[in-house]
A and B are shown apart, each in its own frame.
Chain A
């Protein structure tokens, strides 16, 4: 049942295997493919944006199309690329790090993936059906509620569906981490990546419902004639802004925290030291998550909330610099006195520190409300968030992929290609976005289709576009690396990096059931502890016995597909009431599958202990 065996099956069987899988390791691969695809798509849109802005008053794309590009770039990157790629890492690693054979809700886990995928596909169908959403990824009303066409409807329903998937994923990880830890794996012995997974999932749990409600209200306004955001009916467009940012700000920490977790593990492994100030790191993670819910109005300083609200939110926002700083310094002191080995995973992590620090500091500058009156909605903000998102999240994903690739696929990504990717992407990144800080203050608002000649903005934009091309080259080299490694790469053992945590104590890629015997955890960095005491692997906490595993099922796929159909029904019923039948059919498929799920008992299956011993040594 392990991935190696799956490769020997025919294509159809493999496909069916993946469509029905509830194995977190395979779901991780699905997320990686889905998220990777959307990253390329979002990158392509970014390239189109940059080409349009290469010179003043360019007409590479039309005004309306530009707005579609920038909206879809932001939406795709955040919801369909960054989040799923992070979910790929969480799925691949978290159960292994806590010594679990499975996640708490394998069914929900797979449902979460398919909902994300079908939501994303629904959203992107808009390109071919009369135009993509064009009101920005923030979709501020009333622009979004009054835009003609169906673009924004696709935004609303696509995000609603994929958002539901994310919420399920979040609950799954929370319960997995609480209930499925191996014996001895106390909370304060969990690797930091697992901790960040935990806090991120809690943020998802509390942040996504606000988006859900916001999207419902917007859907009602657009499709059913309600007046939440319509001033003529007594509505108020600022409600959308609040709901969006109550979700939106925690969302950016949902993205960055797992990246922080990756860096913590990578730094510790490749400097051969335990993480400096582990307790403080955990505390800081929780604190960032907590404060993350009290600052959303810093996106709304110019909305006119008044000086009192602006000041409160300004100070609350600045406070986040403290726990983040704690992390930065703890990382530096993890490296301090270590035996630092620099490879691709480490390069991305090391590059993260200055890049993210710059982004964080421009964040604090933005938090100064009176200064934000100038920064807001200019390229300064664009520079800020690409510095934290690309310099933090994307670097983190790259670091994590290089670090865990051998665990996921049993092969190490090529180092030379990895370094080429890194340097082109890194240089391109700074070229693209550093200059944008200045462009913003020189009078270039964001979301501008064209800028005028003679306004001093030409050179900066040209440099920025050149940088973007470097990033594209980097991304393509990475893609090449993945292909070449999967064809030619050499197999490695379970522990290629001299790892410290539990995932390195089992074969690569891990067997279907992860751990033949659950390990006994005796402290932080459990595998390291065993190694320092001269043992090669973990001491088991139980005798070899039968292992209970969940059964594969197609139902999550069917349910998501049903919602996908219903999505089209909702969108088009305004034009023609007969589309309501699509709503009923789609919901019928979805509810029918739910009904089957609840009526049909599914107790999973057992792997007998006699079958376990067949050659799974390290």
Chain B
């Protein structure tokens, strides 16, 4: 008996230890460290239900341990025949009624929270962003502001932002664990969800519905900045000068190549083209294609062979691959697309 429990206990501590070692996960990614209203609400429900569960589990384990210690067959008693009890009405009522009560304790706040998180009463007065899930990237359309971006979504902190979500191909699911729970993007119905960041920061988002080979690489970010900075960003984005010529010669050449062979899919500015990500503020991206570091080398590698970074992506095979030189130039051009001073750094440095 001792050994038995000992093993279980060792297991338990091993698990606890490893959790402590890794903390509660990475800041701005983990649902354990909520930085948004939805995540907060969900975590509260998680803790309420967890508390009830721990209580029930302890009760079960106490009876279980007692029974096993007390009634285990003793030496020489192999033939002992215990009393054949049929049941016990009172006990049975107890373990029917108490769980019902416990479930009510969970159910009531659950329903309240479910309705709370689906509230759309102030949708018309709030910032609305149309979110489109694509294999394997995210597109954000600020309809009223006439801004199109991809991969990084800028929002003002402390305000409700309504997301109207659709998919252009297969199912995806929009999930930023530290900001809010997830919501699927479907191809035929628009889903609405609101998010509200409580602190400035760059929050890591993930696609949570299997959508093909690069499902695990379909990351995106929410960049929550102060309302003033957000206004600034909006203005900068609205006033992007599409005619501006880049400073360096190589970037200028890059622009020419880009406009020749890439503009069919990638828009710069508020054009509605969205076959591929909008690259207006590409130079300010947190990551390349959602997951890779935004370095010159990586961008060149992407342009030359996107398949290597994201298997099955929809760019591969659908464009004329430039030479390495050309790619370098395009990278120069793309990386200097920095229309705004409000960047992910702004969000993280204010913290």
Indicate whether B337 reaches chain A with its CB closer than 8 angstroms: no
A370 touches B82 (CB 8 A): no
Nearest-CB residue, chain B, relative to A139: B210
Interface flags for B58-79 (1: CB within 8 Å of A; 0: not) read 0011011001100111000110
- CB-CB < 8 A to B186: which residues of A? 237-238, 303-304
A338 touches B82 (CB 8 A): yes
Indicate whether A455 reaches chain B with its CB closer than 8 angstroms: yes
B30 touches A443 (CB 8 A): yes
Indicate whether A13 reaches chain B with its CB closer than 8 angstroms: no
A322 touches B99 (CB 8 A): yes
Indicate whether B321 reaches chain A with its CB closer than 8 angstroms: no
16 pairs of residues in contact across A and B, judged by CB atoms under 8 Å: A63-B216, A272-B80, A273-B85, A276-B88, A310-B118, A311-B114, A325-B56, A326-B95, A337-B83, A337-B85, A338-B71, A342-B73, A373-B182, A377-B175, A438-B19, A441-B25
**A interface SS class:** helix
- CB-CB < 8 A to B206: which residues of A? 443, 445
Chain A residues within 8 Å of B, Cβ to Cβ? 62-64, 67, 135-136, 140, 142-143, 146-147, 231, 235-238, 271-274, 276-280, 302-304, 306-307, 310-311, 314-315, 318-319, 321-322, 325-326, 328-330, 332-333, 335-342, 350, 353-354, 357-358, 361-362, 364-365, 368-374, 376-378, 423, 427, 430-431, 434-435, 438, 441-443, 445, 447-452, 454-460, 463
Q: Which residue in A63, A143, A361, A430 is a CB contact (below 8 Å) of B11?
A: A430
Nearest-CB residue, chain B, relative to A369: B114
Q: Which residue in B15, B189, B208, B211 is a CB contact (below 8 Å) of A376?
A: B208
Asked, given contacts A237-B188, A370-B110, A374-B182, whether A333 binds B61 with beta carbons under 8 Å apart, the answer is: no
Q: Complex formed: what's the CA distance from A340 to B65 in Å?
A: 13
Tell me which of B40-48, B255-263, B267-275 binds A: B40-48
- CB-CB < 8 A to A463: which residues of B? 14-15, 18
Q: In angstroms, how far is the closest chain B Cβ from the Cβ of A345?
A: 14
Q: Complex formed: what's the CA distance from A338 to B74 in Å?
A: 11
Asked, given contacts A274-B84, A277-B88, A442-B22, whether A448 binds B216 with beta carbons under 8 Å apart, the answer is: yes
Q: In angstroms, how far is the closest chain B Cβ from the Cβ of A548?
A: 37
B67 touches A335 (CB 8 A): yes
Asked, given contacts A278-B86, A335-B67, A442-B30, whether A374 binds B43 with beta carbons under 8 Å apart, the answer is: yes
- CB-CB < 8 A to B125: which residues of A? none
- CB-CB < 8 A to A147: which residues of B? 212
Indicate whether B343 reaches chain A with its CB closer than 8 angstroms: no
Interface flags for B162-202 (1: CB within 8 Å of A; 0: not) read 00000001110101011011111011110110000000000
Indicate whether B244 reaches chain A with its CB closer than 8 angstroms: no
Interface flags for B241-263 (1: CB within 8 Å of A; 0: not) read 00000000000000000000000
- CB-CB < 8 A to A274: which residues of B? 84-86
A373 touches B117 (CB 8 A): yes
Q: In angstroms, how far is the closest chain A Cβ from the Cβ of B139?
A: 17
Q: Complex formed: what's the CA distance from A306 to B189 in Å?
A: 12
- CB-CB < 8 A to A311: which residues of B? 110-111, 114-115
Indicate whether B209 reaches chain A with its CB closer than 8 angstroms: yes
- CB-CB < 8 A to A143: which residues of B? 170-171, 210-212
Instruction: Kindly identify, within residues 266 to 310 of chain B, every residue whose CB is under 8 Å from any CB belonging to chain A.
Output: 291
4 interchain residue pairs of minimum CB distance: A373-B181, A442-B25, A370-B113, A304-B191
B15 touches A373 (CB 8 A): no
A441 touches B177 (CB 8 A): yes
B189 touches A304 (CB 8 A): yes
A456 touches B99 (CB 8 A): no
Asked, given contacts A443-B206, A463-B18, whether A322 binds B100 with beta carbons under 8 Å apart, the answer is: yes
Asked, given contacts A370-B117, A430-B11, A442-B32, whether A358 binds B80 with beta carbons under 8 Å apart, the answer is: no
Indicate whether B81 reaches chain A with its CB closer than 8 angstroms: yes
- CB-CB < 8 A to B169: which residues of A? 142, 146
Chain B residues within 8 Å of A, Cβ to Cβ? 7-8, 11, 14-15, 18-19, 21-26, 29-32, 38-39, 41-43, 45-46, 49-50, 53, 56-57, 60-61, 63-64, 67-68, 71-73, 77-78, 80-88, 91-92, 95-96, 99-100, 103, 106-107, 110-111, 113-118, 169-171, 173, 175, 177-178, 180-184, 186-189, 191-192, 204, 206-217, 219, 291, 311-312
B49 touches A371 (CB 8 A): yes
Nearest-CB residue, chain B, relative to A281: B87
Q: Complex formed: what's the CA distance from A455 to B186 in Å?
A: 28
A374 touches B23 (CB 8 A): no
- CB-CB < 8 A to B204: which residues of A? 443, 455
Q: Complex formed: what's the CA distance from A267 to B211 in Å?
A: 45
- CB-CB < 8 A to A336: which residues of B? 63, 67, 71
Q: Complex formed: what's the CA distance from A367 to B85 in Å?
A: 35
A377 touches B182 (CB 8 A): yes
B118 touches A307 (CB 8 A): yes
Q: Complex formed: what's the CA distance from A335 to B73 in Å?
A: 11
Q: Complex formed: what's the CA distance from A338 to B336 in Å?
A: 78
Nearest-CB residue, chain A, relative to B49: A365
A63 touches B213 (CB 8 A): yes
Q: In angstroms, how far is the closest chain B Cβ from the Cβ of A270?
A: 9
A456 touches B175 (CB 8 A): no
Other A-B pairs, 15, CB within 8 Å; known A370-B117, A455-B26: A231-B188, A237-B186, A341-B73, A361-B56, A368-B110, A372-B181, A427-B7, A438-B19, A442-B22, A443-B25, A443-B177, A443-B178, A450-B217, A455-B29, A456-B23
- CB-CB < 8 A to A450: which residues of B? 216-217
Q: Complex formed: what's the CA distance from A118 to B117 in Å?
A: 48
- CB-CB < 8 A to A442: which residues of B? 22, 24-26, 29-32, 177
- CB-CB < 8 A to A372: which residues of B? 181
B171 touches A237 (CB 8 A): yes
A276 touches B175 (CB 8 A): no
- CB-CB < 8 A to A457: which residues of B? 22, 25
A370 touches B175 (CB 8 A): no
- CB-CB < 8 A to B32: which residues of A? 441-442
Q: In angstroms, how far is the closest chain A Cβ from the Cβ of B290?
A: 10
B111 touches A315 (CB 8 A): yes
- CB-CB < 8 A to A315: which residues of B? 107, 111
Nearest-CB residue, chain B, relative to A145: B170
Q: Which residue in B8, B73, B91, B210 is a CB contact (below 8 Å) of A447?
A: B210
Q: Which residue in B8, B77, B212, B217 is a CB contact (below 8 Å) of A339?
A: B77
Q: Complex formed: what's the CA distance from A450 to B311 in Å?
A: 12
Q: Complex formed: what's the CA distance from A458 to B73 in Å?
A: 44
B207 touches A445 (CB 8 A): yes
- CB-CB < 8 A to B117: which residues of A? 307, 370, 373
- CB-CB < 8 A to B312: which residues of A? 63-64
- CB-CB < 8 A to B67: which residues of A? 332, 335-336, 340
Asked, given contacts A340-B72, A445-B206, A445-B207, whether A314 binds B111 with beta carbons under 8 Å apart, the answer is: yes
Q: Which residue in B14, B25, B57 is a CB contact (below 8 Å) of A358?
A: B57
- CB-CB < 8 A to A459: which residues of B? 18, 21-22
Q: Complex formed: what's the CA distance from A140 to B208 in Å?
A: 13
Interface-central residue, B103, B178, B216, by most chain A CB under 10 Å:
B216
Q: Complex formed: what's the CA distance from A442 to B80 in Å?
A: 52
Q: Complex formed: what's the CA distance from A273 to B82 in Å?
A: 7
Q: Complex formed: what's the CA distance from A188 to B149 in Å?
A: 66
Q: Which residue in A238, A339, A353, A373 is a CB contact (below 8 Å) of B38?
A: A373
Q: Complex formed: what's the CA distance from A302 to B71 in Å?
A: 47
A373 touches B214 (CB 8 A): no
- CB-CB < 8 A to B77: which residues of A? 339
Nearest-CB residue, chain A, relative to B310: A63
Q: Complex formed: what's the CA distance from A427 to B3 in Å?
A: 13
Q: Complex formed: what's the CA distance from A27 to B188 in Å?
A: 46
- CB-CB < 8 A to B214: which residues of A? 63
- CB-CB < 8 A to A454: which residues of B? 26
Q: Complex formed: what's the CA distance from A441 to B171 in Å?
A: 22
Asked, given contacts A335-B71, A336-B71, whether A365 binds B7 with beta carbons under 8 Å apart, the answer is: no
Q: Which residue in B11, B209, B217 is a CB contact (below 8 Å) of A431?
A: B11
Q: Complex formed: what's the CA distance from A335 to B86 in Å?
A: 13
B30 touches A370 (CB 8 A): no
- CB-CB < 8 A to B88: which residues of A? 276-277, 333
